Amino acid sequence: MTNKKRYTVTSALPYANGALHLGHLAGAYLPADIYVRYLRLLGKDVVFVCGSDEHGAAITIRAKKEGISPRDIIDKYHSLNKETFERLGISFDIYHRTSAALHHETSQEFFKLLYDKGGEFEERTNEQYYDAEFNQFLADRYIVGTCPKCAHEEAYGDQCENCGSTLSPRELINPRSTLSGNTPELKETTHWFFKLDKHADWLREWVKEGTLEGAQHHDPKTWKNHVTGQCLSWLDGEDGLQPRAITRDLDWGIPVPLEGAEGKVLYVWFDAPIGYISATKQWAKDNGKDWKDYWQSEDTELVHFIGKDNIVFHCIVFPAMLKAHGDYILPVNVPANQFLNFEGRKFSKSKGWGIEQHQYLEEFKDFPNKEDALRYTLIRNAPENKDSDFKWDEFVDFHDNELVGNLGNFINRVVVLTNKYYEGVVPQVNSDSQVLKDAFALVQTFQKNVEAFKFRDALQTFLELSSLGNTYLQDVSPWKVWKEDPESLEVKECLSNCIQIVTILSVLCEPFIPFSSEKIRSLINLPKVENGDLQKLLNQLQNKETLISEGHQLGEPELLFAKINDRKDASRMQLIEKQKQHLEDILAAEKANDRAPIKPEITYDDFVKLDVRTGTILTAEKVEKADKLLKLTVDIGLEVRTVVSGIAKHYKPEDIIGQQVLLLANLAPRKLRGVMSQGMILMAEDENGKLVFVQPGETWGNGHQVS
RNA sequence: GGCGAGGUAGCUCAGCUGGUUAGAGCGCCAGAUUCAUAAUCUGGAGGUCGAGAGUUCAAGUCUCUCUCUCGCUACCA
Is residue A692 very low, low, confident or very high in pLDDT (cuts 50, 70, 90)?
confident
Question: CA-CA distances (angstroms) from residue A686 to A579, A587, A593, A644, A695?
Answer: 29, 16, 12, 21, 16
Residue A133 DSSP code? T
pLDDT at A382 over 90: no
Is residue A689 very low, low, confident or very high in pLDDT (cuts 50, 70, 90)?
low
Structure confidence at residue A481 (pLDDT):
94
Burial class (CB in 10 A: 0-12, 13-18, 19+), A698: exposed
Interstrand relation of A244-245 and A185-194 (parallel, antiparallel or unpaired): antiparallel
Question: Residue A409 and residue A413: Cα distance in Å, rounded?
Answer: 6
Q: Which of residues 631-660 of A touch strand B (CB under 7 A)?
A: 645-647
Question: Residue A695 and residue A692: Cα distance in Å, rounded?
Answer: 9
Q: Which of residues 677-696 of A touch strand B (CB under 7 A)?
A: 680, 683, 685, 691
Is residue A39 very low, low, confident or very high in pLDDT (cuts 50, 70, 90)?
very high
Is the Cβ atom of A672 within 7 Å of strand B at any atom?
yes
Tell which wins on pLDDT, A651 or A472.
Answer: A472
Question: Residue A486 and residue A484: Cα distance in Å, rounded?
Answer: 7
Is residue A267 very low, low, confident or very high in pLDDT (cuts 50, 70, 90)?
confident
Q: Which of A210-214, A420-424, A510-514 is predicted least confidently?
A: A210-214
pLDDT in tens, A611-648: 889 899 998 887 777 777 888 899 988 888 988 888 77
Residues A23-47 have a mean pLDDT of: 94
How many other CB atoms are found less than 10 A from the CB of residue A484?
8
pLDDT in tens, A304-353: 998 887 888 888 889 999 999 999 999 998 888 888 888 877 787 777 88
pLDDT at A161 over 60: no
Helix H or strand E encompassing A575: helix A571-592
A226-235, A250-259, A426-435, range with greatest mean pLDDT: A250-259
E-assigned strand segments in A482-587 = none
Is residue A144 very low, low, confident or very high in pLDDT (cuts 50, 70, 90)?
confident
Cβ distance A60 to A135 under 8 Å?
no
pLDDT at A359 over 70: yes
pLDDT in tens, A652-670: 777 788 888 898 888 888 7
Q: How far is the CA of A38 from the C1' of B26 (A)?
A: 28
Residues A450-478 have a mean pLDDT of: 92
DSSP A230-299: HHHHHHTSSS----EE-EEE-SSSPBP-STT-TTEEE-HHHHHHHHHHHHHHHHHHHHT--THHHHS-TT
Count the residues in chain A: 707
Is residue A291 very low, low, confident or very high in pLDDT (cuts 50, 70, 90)?
very high
Which nucleotides on chain B have any atom < 7 A from a protein Cβ?
A: 1, 3-6, 12-14, 24-27, 33-42, 74-77
Q: What is the mean pLDDT of chain A?
A: 87
**Under 8 Å CB-to-CB from A598, ≥6 apart: which residues?**
none
Q: Which of residues 425-464 of A touch strand B (CB under 7 A)?
A: 460
Cβ distance A57 to A139 under 8 Å?
yes
Is the Cβ atom of A412 within 7 Å of strand B at any atom?
yes
Structure confidence at residue A479 (pLDDT):
96
How many other CB atoms are found less than 10 A from the CB of residue A120?
23
Residues A416-435 have a mean pLDDT of: 90
